[in-house]
Structure 1
Amino acid sequence: MTPTGKLITTGEGRDLVLVRTYRAPIEDVWASVTEPERTARWFGPWEGDAAPGATIRVRMSFEEDEPWCETRIDACEPPHRLALSMSDASGDWRVELLLAETAGVTELRFAHHLAPGAPLAEMGAGWEYYLDLLTAAREGAPRPSFTDYYPAMKPYYDALT
């Protein structure tokens, strides 16, 4: 696996940004990241009334013990932008998914707005893994193994800081 994440300095701090592209209409990719039966294939199912400002529960199906985490929907602008704040045992996370389609190809730009002192190597490898799970789910391909991502990607992400 080749790491793809970039560390970008913003006016508010640092963002870890990863990009994936799909030969698919934007609405189909949007469904993959928002519909509970489709998110279950690569991240985990969710439950609750989804709306901007609402909090849903997401089951992290590919983590040890498959924990549930509270997830606030900060923004939802179908089919282009989804911003979420999550809380779990490892802390609070703010992420944003931005989608754009050109000529039948949809780009998914994933940004994790990093908190100071965030463990970049673990987060980078983790998001690479989850986004590759998304790709595998969309393509009907075998799921990757997290052991192929971490600690193998640690030197790459350590070098970004």
Structure 2
Amino acid sequence: MIDATEQINAVRRQIGERVLEAGKARVSTIGQTYEAPIEDVWDACTNAERIPRWFLPVSGELKVGGRYQLEGNAGGTVERCDPPRSFAATWEFGGQVSWIEVRLTEEGDGRTRLELEHIAHVDDDLWAQYGPGAVGIGWDLSLLGLATHLSSGAALDPAEVAAWSASEDGRLFTALSSERWCEASIAAGTDKDAAQAAAERVFAFYTTPPEGAGEPAQT
């Protein structure tokens, strides 16, 4: 796996809001530049044969109007697609519906910038308890998987990923991700003490989940 600190520092995170028809939604934005051409990054993110090499097995129809399902995780409907620039889909998990939007931008010298927005109506109590790390840590792990795959061309071994996640490096990665999402939350106006308390809780959840408890959110 890529060095934990190096990967964390390569990613940018931001918290914002968006007004939808159903009301105010929270927007978590995560982005990274990859040393890969836009066509390769697009294929890795949209090809059903490649997605499991760095993320999760996926079934369904990956086209506008099609339904998809990630194994053991979210499913939804593909709403927009503009190859190789952007796509948008619903993100449905645990009876809740949110949305993801992915944008790719060429940055020259064969490099590509990926930005992902996760837009969700989040209960105020749940947000106060876990903060943006509830979804943010999961997306950080996903971008780590994509970075590893794009840099090596190889498929990640789920057993090796699980072992790494439980290792000292894996725990460091989760701790650093939680810390950076805490910083993004404070920058967005969250009280510092409240943001830090939420970061501690979400780190504990990801590293020692309570028996029988469901995850605060999924990516």
Common topology (TM > 0.5): yes
Partner of 2:38: 26
Once the two structures are superposed, residues 30-54 of structure 1 have per-residue CA deviations (whole angstroms, 9 ceiling, x without a partner) of 0010011211012112222222122
Does the CA-based 8 Å contact 2:46-2:62 persist in structure 1?
A: no
Tell me, in whole angstroms, the C-alpha distance in 2 between the residues paired with 1:55 and 1:39.
15
Where 1:4 maps in the other structure, the secondary structure is strand
Q: Give the structure with the larger helix fraction.
A: 2
Segments of 5+ residues of structure 2 without an aligned counterpart are: 191-219
Does the CA-based 8 Å contact 1:4-1:128 persist in structure 2?
A: no
Where 1:94 maps in the other structure, the secondary structure is strand
Where 2:69 maps in the other structure, the secondary structure is strand
Indicate whether 1:112 and 2:136 are aligned.
no
Number of residues of Structure 1 aligned to a counterpart in Structure 2: 154
Change (3 A) 1:122 1:25: same
- TM, length-normalised to structure 1: 0.81
Given candidates 143, 148, 153, the residue that maps to 2:172 is 148
Indicate whether 1:35 and 2:47 are aligned.
yes
Tell me, in whole angstroms, the C-alpha distance in 1 between the residues paired with 2:177 and 2:62.
34
Does the CA-based 8 Å contact 1:58-1:71 persist in structure 2?
A: no
Change (3 A) 1:23 1:94: same
Does the CA-based 8 Å contact 1:121-1:154 persist in structure 2?
A: yes
State the superposition RMSD in angstroms: 2.4
Where 1:150 maps in the other structure, the secondary structure is helix
Segments of 5+ residues of structure 1 without an aligned counterpart are: 60-66
Given candidates 14, 20, 31, the residue that maps to 1:6 is 14
Deviates more, 1:99-108 or 1:47-56: 47-56
Q: Give the structure with the larger strand fraction.
A: 1
Deviates more, 1:5-14 or 1:38-47: 5-14
Computing the radius of gyration from Cα coordinates, the structure with the larger value is 2
Q: Following superposition of structure 1 onto structure 2, how do residues 128-139 of structure 1 map, counting pairs within 5 Å?
A: 128-139=140-151
Change (3 A) 1:154 1:43: same
Indicate whether 1:80 and 2:80 are aligned.
no
Fraction of identical pairs, as percent: 25
